[in-house]
Chain A
Amino acid sequence: MSAIIHGAGAATALSTFNFKTLVAPCRTNIPGRSKRCIVAAGSDDDASKSFGSSILTVRHSQKLIANAVATKADMSATTGTGHELLLFEALQEGLEEEMDRDPHVCVMGEDVGHYGGSYKVTKGLADKFGDLRVLDTPICENAFTGMGIGAAMTGLRPVIEGMNMGFLLLAFNQISNNCGMLHYTSGGQFTIPVVIRGPGGVGRQLGAEHSQRLESYFQSIPGIQMVACSTPYNAKGLMKAAIRSENPVILFEHVLLYNLKEKIPDEEYICNLEEAEMVRPGEHITILTYSRMRYHVMQAAKTLVNKGYDPEVIDIRSLKPFDLYTIGNSVKKTHRVLIVEECMRTGGIGASLTAAINENFHDYLDAPVMCLSSQDVPTPYAGTLEEWTVVQPAQIVTAVEQLCQ
Chain B
Amino acid sequence: MAIWFARSRNIVSSLRHNLNLSGILVQRDHSPRHAFTNSQLSSRSVFLDSFTSLRHESTAVEKQLDLVQQSDEEDPQELNFPGGKVGYTSELKFIPESSSRRVPCYRVLDENGRIIPDSDFIPVSEKLAVRMYEHMATLQVMDHIFYEAQRQGRISFYITTVGEEAVNIASAAALAPDDVVLPQYREPGVLLWRGFTLQEFANQCFGNKADHGKGRQMPVHYGSNRHSYFTVSSPIATQLPQAAGVGYSLKMEKKNACAVTFIGDGGTSEGDFHAGLNFAAVMEAPVVFICRNNGWAISTHISEQFRSDGIVVKGQAYGIRSIRVDGNDALAIYSAVRSAREMAVKEQRPVLIEAMTYRVGHHSTSDDSTKYRAADEIQYWKMSRNPVNRFRKWVEDNGWWSEEDESKLRSDARKQLLQAIQAAEKSEKPPLTELFSDVYDVKTKNLEEQELGLKELVEKQPQDYPPGFHI
Q: Residues on A close to B: CB < 8 A?
A: 27, 32-33, 103, 106, 113-114, 126-133, 135-138, 140, 142-156, 158, 173-174, 177-178, 181-191, 222-223, 225, 245-247, 274, 321-322, 324-325
Contact = CB atoms under 8 A, between A and B. Distances in A.
Contacts of B212: 186-187, 189
Q: Nearest 7 CB-CB pairs, A to B?
A: A114-B56, A150-B242, A150-B245, A146-B241, A143-B275, A147-B245, A151-B245
A351 B37 CA distance: 48
Interface in B20-68: 36-41, 54-56, 59
A138 B216 contact: no
A149 B235 CA distance: 15
B279 A185 contact: no
A132 B251 contact: yes
A151 B243 CA distance: 8
Interface stretch (B91-99, B358-366, B412-420, B435-443): B435-443
Contact of A142 (B234, B248, B275, B441): B275
Interface string B218-260: 0001011100001101110011111111101111110000010
A147 B279 contact: yes
B285 to A, nearest CB: 9
Nearest to B57: A114
B240 A146 contact: yes
B279 A103 contact: no
Contact of B233 (A27, A131, A182, A191): A182
A148 B245 contact: yes
Nearest to A115: B56
B111 to A, nearest CB: 38
A177 B442 CA distance: 20
Contacts of B40: 103, 128-130, 133
B386 interface: no
A173 B238 contact: yes
B275 A130 contact: no
A146 B238 contact: yes
Contacts of A135: 248, 283
A190 B230 contact: yes
A225 B439 CA distance: 10
B223 A143 contact: no
Interface stretch (B4-12, B112-120, B444-452): B444-452
Given A138-B278, A144-B241, A188-B214, 9 more contacts: A130-B38, A137-B279, A140-B278, A146-B240, A146-B245, A177-B238, A183-B440, A189-B213, A247-B440
A156 B259 CA distance: 15
A148 B283 CA distance: 13
Contacts of B221: 185
Contact of B279 (A132, A143, A174, A182): A143
Given A137-B279, A186-B223, A27 B238 contact: no
B378 to A, nearest CB: 32
A152 B252 CA distance: 12
A158 B249 CA distance: 10
B105 interface: no
Given A143-B278, A150-B242, A181 B233 contact: yes
Contacts of A32: 442
Contact of A155 (B36, B253, B442): B253
Interface of B: 36-41, 54-56, 59, 180, 182, 211-214, 216-217, 221, 223-225, 230-231, 233-235, 238-246, 248-253, 259, 271-272, 275-276, 278-279, 282-283, 437-446, 448
Contacts of B248: 132, 135, 147, 150-151, 156
B323 to A, nearest CB: 24
User: Which of A127, A186, A274 has the most chain B CB atoms closer than 10 A to its own CB?
Assistant: A186
Contacts of A247: 440-441
A153 B233 CA distance: 13
Nearest to B48: A132
A109 to B, nearest CB: 12
B272 A177 contact: no
Contacts of A131: 36-37, 54-56
Nearest to A129: B40
Contacts of A245: 441
Nearest to B234: A177
A132 B252 contact: yes
Nearest to A130: B39
A213 B142 CA distance: 49
A182 B105 CA distance: 37
Contact of A190 (B39, B59, B231, B276): B231
B68 to A, nearest CB: 20
A156 B180 CA distance: 14
A146 B272 contact: yes
A174 B243 CA distance: 13
B389 to A, nearest CB: 36
A222 B242 contact: no
A68 B77 CA distance: 57
A225 B440 contact: yes
Contacts of B439: 183-184, 222-223
Nearest to B53: A131
A126 B38 CA distance: 11
User: Which of B242, B251, B276 has the most chain A CB atoms closer than 10 A to its own CB?
Assistant: B242
A184 B436 CA distance: 9
27 contacts: A128-B40, A130-B37, A131-B54, A132-B36, A132-B38, A137-B282, A138-B279, A142-B241, A143-B244, A146-B239, A146-B241, A146-B245, A147-B242, A153-B230, A155-B249, A173-B238, A174-B241, A177-B233, A178-B233, A182-B233, A187-B438, A188-B437, A189-B224, A189-B231, A190-B223, A191-B441, A222-B439
A143 B276 contact: yes
A32 B445 CA distance: 10
A152 B437 CA distance: 20
B272 A143 contact: yes
Contacts of B225: 186, 189-190
A194 to B, nearest CB: 10
A140 B275 contact: yes
B217 A185 contact: yes
Contacts of B249: 150-151, 154-156
B105 to A, nearest CB: 29
A130 B52 CA distance: 12
Contacts of B234: 177
Contacts of B231: 182, 185-187, 189-190
A126 B241 contact: no
Contacts of A182: 231, 233
Nearest to B232: A185
A259 B122 CA distance: 61
Contact of B213 (A127, A185, A321): A185
Contacts of A148: 245
Contacts of A190: 223, 225, 230-231
A187 B440 contact: no
A155 B223 CA distance: 16
Nearest to A186: B231
A135 B248 CA distance: 10
Contacts of A132: 36-38, 248, 251-252
A324 B221 CA distance: 37
B38 A150 contact: no
